[in-house]
Homo-oligomer: A and B are copies of this chain.
């Protein structure tokens, strides 16, 4: 058992989720690499210090290079806005640190490619925070599919609806500006859906036709009190072809009232179907034919210790994992990779492939025609 020094850059939603995962993972998984919370970084020195105390780090800083240069830090979490992921990730890899980077990797393909290049020349491990693929039940779903339980995959259909921006009275923000934040729902939520599509089908999207909708054309700018045009997508829709030959649809919205984490997907197969809804992350729906039609129906499978590594948390089924537990599973995959020199999914290279799909959707929506994924 040896420790691994941790630095976390960013202290909001994801900064905290990573920190909790680091704090708990050792006790949960009992692995030989034990995270130690060394240093946390926030742009604001006051917040940095407050978060250091709250989350239990040894040190804090408002300069992310302090994290990168910290000799006690071996693994760095990047939990800051997407536009600065690249510079941090490239520097961290150059400094010989492993990197756990939140999704999406960056705001443009060139940056993401630079991250992949940096990773390619480094022996360090990388993982992108597409946590909805890390749920033990979702891993089990993929295993069942690989084992042929639903036969050959015949289609993938997914939705990710949230209501973050559903209220038309929500003020204008940088998130609604294409220049500042890139695409809207495409970057923010479609990326998650693509990660699931790639993971669960063991295949990648190769061609798409996409369409955007800017549902609320303008919003009040809180600084000026005037209306300001929104120029990125509230809704993003795509029809997709996968390189395995299957087809499917993907649809996301950031203006879908009532859906809080409404990521739901179906994998259709020649012998059955699997359905999943992230708002009930401990349930999997499975249909397979039954010899007696009077008995056939979708099964609601509750997560249990046979859905590894649920058993690291709990020995009994039906007791429920939470979002943060799944984040710990994600971390555990990375720690295992570091410790045993195995691969992660999604690495930076896998993450880039996801972003190429988002890019193709963007180009397709802009051009109004089908586009190949690069």
Contact = CB atoms under 8 A, between A and B. Distances in A.
Interface stretch (A119-127, A279-287, A330-338): A279-287
Contact of A304 (B34, B56, B260): B260
Contacts of A213: 154-155, 246-247
A177 interface: no
B272 A258 contact: yes
Given A23-B26, A268-B253, A273-B257, A295 B286 contact: yes
Contacts of A1: 53
A321 B258 CA distance: 18
Contacts of A324: 24, 313-314, 321-322, 325
Nearest to A255: B154
A150 B322 contact: no
Contacts of A279: 282, 302, 318, 320
A86 interface: no
Contacts of A237: 239, 247-249
Given A255-B154, A314-B323, A24 B23 contact: yes
A47 interface: no
Interface string A234-248: 010111000000111
Contacts of A261: 316-320
A55 interface: yes
Contacts of A299: 295-300
Nearest to A141: B294
A269 B251 CA distance: 16
A330 to B, nearest CB: 14
Contacts of A23: 23-24, 26-28
Interface stretch (A13-21, A67-75, A97-105, A342-350): A13-21
B314 A319 contact: no
B211 A247 contact: yes
Nearest to A215: B154
Contacts of A239: 209, 211, 237-239
A185 to B, nearest CB: 12
A22 B299 CA distance: 36
10 contacts: A30-B54, A140-B294, A144-B295, A166-B270, A255-B268, A293-B304, A296-B301, A314-B323, A320-B323, A325-B325
Q: Which 7 A-B pairs have the closest CB atoms?
A: A260-B318, A322-B322, A258-B287, A30-B54, A297-B301, A261-B318, A297-B299
